[in-house]
């Protein structure tokens, strides 16, 4: 039973936002405790390119991800707390040696709020957790944005190519030469290309 569905004072972490804890191949590995760590380890990791992991997924807690408003600890929550969290962590990442060398930072969200005309699910997947909520039409989490920061991406540009979370997963899997998980293997699925990695250097 997952007891992290709702924030508690002093513990606003939600396991459901950390996909790695759902794979026995990871949680059953002796490396899990060393690699699935609290965000506090990031500043030390970013000190040099050698100590920075080649892939990190960072998910804020239920206050800083914009979900709760107000937060259980009295913070305003919503976009105000999400923005404050990003203002702290994005510069720490983008000023690191590893990011400057060949890093990519993707900031995205798991769902939108309110009805979306294009909220249909990708690739024939079943309804997402928000499908039955009032105001949500169709399946999936609706239309969300993504911000890609990288030395390989020219600032101030945007792409009109329709991407989704499976596109992001497939793009990561392509980078590491990994097989596709689930709907990331859908034929014709858009993957990040020269519209995203468009810097001329």
Domain co-membership, 149 together with 82: no
Domain stops at, among 65, 80, 101: 101
pLDDT of amino acid 115: 53
Which of 49, 56, 43, 47 has the alpha carbon at shortest distance from 98?
Answer: 49
Q: What are phi and psi of 73, to 5 degrees?
A: -95, 5
**Domain count of the chain?**
2
Domain co-membership, 79 together with 109: no
pLDDT of amino acid 125: 58
pLDDT of amino acid 136: 37
Domain co-membership, 182 together with 198: yes
pLDDT of amino acid 141: 60
How far apart (Å, rounded) are the C-alpha atoms in residues 70 and 76? 5
Domain co-membership, 110 together with 97: no
pLDDT of amino acid 139: 47
For residue 82, the surrounding DSSP H or E stretch is helix 78-94
Domain co-membership, 113 together with 91: no
Domain stops at, among 75, 101, 127: 101
Domain stops at, among 61, 78, 101: 101
Domain co-membership, 84 together with 118: no
Q: Along the 201 residues of the chain, how does pLDDT read in single tens digits?
A: 788 888 999 899 999 899 888 889 999 999 998 899 999 999 999 999 999 999 999 999 999 999 899 999 999 999 999 999 999 999 999 999 999 999 999 999 887 765 554 445 566 555 544 444 433 344 456 678 899 999 999 999 999 998 988 999 999 999 999 999 988 999 999 999 999 999 986
pLDDT of amino acid 22: 87
Domain co-membership, 110 together with 200: yes
pLDDT of amino acid 200: 82
169-199 burial code (b ≥16 CB/10 A, e <16): bbbbbeeeeeeeeebbebeebbbbeeebeee
How far apart (Å, rounded) are the C-alpha atoms in residues 72 and 75? 7
Task: Please check whether residue 189 is in contact with residue 123, taking contact to mean a CB–CB distance below 8 angstroms.
Answer: yes
Domain co-membership, 192 together with 124: yes
Task: Please check whether residue 106 is in contact with residue 148, taking contact to mean a CB–CB distance below 8 angstroms.
Answer: yes
Predicted TM-score of the model (pTM)? 0.85
Q: Which domain holds residue 40?
A: 1-101
């Amino acid at each position: 039973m997952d007891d992290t569905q709702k924030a508690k004072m002093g513990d606003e972490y939600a396991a459901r936002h950390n996909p790695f804890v759902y794979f026995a191949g990871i949680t059953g590995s002796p490396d899990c405790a060393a690699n699935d760590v609290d965000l506090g380890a990031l500043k030390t990791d970013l000190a040099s390119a050698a100590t920075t992991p080649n892939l990190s997924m960072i998910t804020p807690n239920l206050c800083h991800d914009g979900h709760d408003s107000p937060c259980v600890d009295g913070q305003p929550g919503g976009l105000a707390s999400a923005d404050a969290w990003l203002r702290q962590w994005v510069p720490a990442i983008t000023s690191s040696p590893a990011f400057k060398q060949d890093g990519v930072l993707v900031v995205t969200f798991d769902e939108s709020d309110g009805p979306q005309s294009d909220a249909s699910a990708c690739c024939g997947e079943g309804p997402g957790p928000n499908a039955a909520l009032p105001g949500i039409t169709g399946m999936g989490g609706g239309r969300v944005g993504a911000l890609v920061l990288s030395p390989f991406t020219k600032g101030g540009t945007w792409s009109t190519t329709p991407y989704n979370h499976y596109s992001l997963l497939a793009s990561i899997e392509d980078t590491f030469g990994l097989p596709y998980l689930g709907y990331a293997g859908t034929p014709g699925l858009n993957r990040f290309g020269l519209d995203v990695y468009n810097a001329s250097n």
